[in-house]
Amino acid sequence: MDVRWEEAGWERLTGRSGRRRLPVWDCTVGLVVGDESVLLVDPGSCLREGAVLRGEAERLTGRRVTHIAFTHGHFDHVLGAAAFAGAEVYGAVGLDSLLSVGREALRLSAVHHGMAQEEAARAVELLVLPRHPVSGELTLELGGVQVLLANVGPGHTGHDLAVFVPGEREVVFCGDLVEESGEPQAGRDAVPARWPAALDRLLSLGGEDALYVPGHGAVVGADFVRAQRATLAARFGVSEA
């Protein structure tokens, strides 16, 4: 499999996985390439961005994206999904209901963060809901690689999903449970008391030598995740007991 990640503007993580840092909000998109299927982790913030990612993924892999995983339900991580016709979409259990009733909140959040009114409205109109809820853990067989979807939240939101990719070096796509380019953002939908425990789950999934891929920022190691866990525990007054 000859995948030229860097030439396409992607960062290669392992032989079967890579990621892209998108402009504007520095949101990470992940790609896992199996022999039979292709998984995209978070499809971008709007239809335009999703269409660009679809084209890049198809050029990298020679196939269409067959599976999408939402790490959580914020606009910059879900609104590009409609560009991937036919893809099976996964999310933490309950995320489908939250997105279904929260369309206007998504639109307002996107506009508040700088998206054009028309673009935000169109993306929300075509919002794709996750039809495959993950409660606990679920394994996806992509052909030659089995990817684990783990419902590790709540923490950053009430519906946080991590994606674990085994291989020559384990990769954990963390969503916004981990942020490297700035302080972790705790909005009104965060569950601060549970966030450190969610990071403990990430560390137990990946172990000491894994690559941890934040929702925003550079790839980090286990020491960074532990340090961020300690910071969050202190910030929110979470007991270590």
The pTM for the full model equals 0.96
Q: pLDDT confidence of 8, banded at 50, 70, 90?
A: confident
Answer for the pair 34, 145: CB distance below 8 angstroms, yes or no.
yes
- For residues 141 and 143, what is the distance between their CA atoms, to the nearest angstrom? 6
Whose CA is closest to 21, among 173, 195, 165? 173
73: number of Cβ within 10 Å? 25
The 10s digit of each residue's pLDDT in 136-172 is 999 999 999 999 999 999 999 999 999 999 988 999 9
What integer pLDDT is reported at residue 19 of this predicted model?
97
Give the ranges where the chain is alpha helix by DSSP (H).
47-61, 75-78, 95-101, 103-112, 117-125, 195-206, 222-236
What integer pLDDT is reported at residue 206 of this predicted model?
96
- For residues 239 and 73, what is the distance between their CA atoms, to the nearest angstrom? 28
Residue 85, burial from CB neighbour count under 10 angstroms (0-12, 13-18, 19+): exposed
Six token digits for residue 156: 């950053």
Question: Is the confidence at residue 180, as pLDDT, over 70?
Answer: yes
Answer for the pair 170, 67: CB distance below 8 angstroms, yes or no.
no
- For CA atoms 24, 27, 29, 30, the dihedral sign is positive
Six token digits for residue 55: 């084209």
Question: Is the confidence at residue 241, as pLDDT, over 90?
Answer: no
What integer pLDDT is reported at residue 211 of this predicted model?
98
From 3-12, 58-67, 113-122, 184-193, the region with the lowest mean pLDDT: 3-12
Write phi, then psi, for 72 (nearest 5 degrees).
-170, -175
Answer for the pair 94, 133: CB distance below 8 angstroms, yes or no.
yes
What integer pLDDT is reported at residue 1 of this predicted model?
41
